[in-house]
Amino acid sequence: MRDVWYDSNAYYTDADVVYYTQMDKPMGDEWYDQYTILIDLEQSKEVLFEQIQKRSREEIRSMLSKTDFFFSAIAEGITRTLLNEFIECYNRFANAKKIPAAEVHRLSDYLENGLLTITRVFDKNNVVVAWHAYRVNADRVFLIYSITTAYLHTDSKMKNEIGAANKFCHWKDLEYFKNLGVKLYDFGGWYNGNTDKELLGINNFKEKFGGIITPNYNGIQYVTLKGKLFRLLKYFKNKSQA
């Protein structure tokens, strides 16, 4: 299998199955739209910050003034131990939210190819309260996973504080990637629908940071006979589960 990101002019025949991700046009034997929010990191930091919703800016400023919360970003030197810690935290979150677990093979592949960045915010007890995992290249950074520990708490004050820490983490991420010279920040998806309340809530959170809602496309190309057999097996598996 091969993953291809962003390059809609590329066509590969060196794999049985090719996954096209975040393309500007439909590609492959199967495809679906994948809207996202793109933020132009070539704007000044002042402009980037002013585009954030006012209440969120206030929360971020409050977090910036605190000395008992701190931000950490790791690109080079991510250890397998750190990646496993993130995966364990994400999978506990995913289990609680009843969403798919982390794709370990993809994260491992990004790590091995120098494409993975993990950012975190620690609280006063040196506990991570927000995690973000990114796929990064020179042109575009893509938010793969974002989690907080708010789901572990019932106290509204604590949940609000962790929510503010997550916004603080996103702002520091924008600063960090801008300083690296990355051109675009990709929020990793935007729900193009009106029925799923939880996804609409996630849309609302992402929209607070500005940016432009942009249609992209994900697709799959079944290249070889083995790839076409894989497609057939998927069809029968999905039919049996329907």
Q: For residue range 7-36, list pLDDT tens digits in order.
A: 777 778 889 999 998 998 999 899 999 999
The model's pTM is 0.90
pLDDT tops 70 at residue 242: no
What's CA 187's distance to the chain center, in Å?
Answer: 6
Please give the radius of gyration of the chain, using alpha carbons only, rounded to the nearest integer.
19
Q: For residue range 155-189, list pLDDT tens digits in order.
A: 999 999 999 999 999 999 999 999 999 999 999 99
Q: For residue range 120-157, list pLDDT tens digits in order.
A: 999 989 999 999 999 999 899 999 999 999 999 999 99
pLDDT tops 80 at residue 230: yes
Whole-angstrom Cα distance, residue 30 to residue 20? 10
pLDDT tops 80 at residue 241: no
Cα torsion 178, 183, 184, 185 to 10°: value is -20
- Domains of the chain (ranges plus CATH)? 1-34+216-242 (no CATH), 36-215 (3.40.630.30)
Between residues 82 and 238, which one has the greater pLDDT?
82
pLDDT tops 90 at residue 77: no
pLDDT tops 90 at residue 224: yes
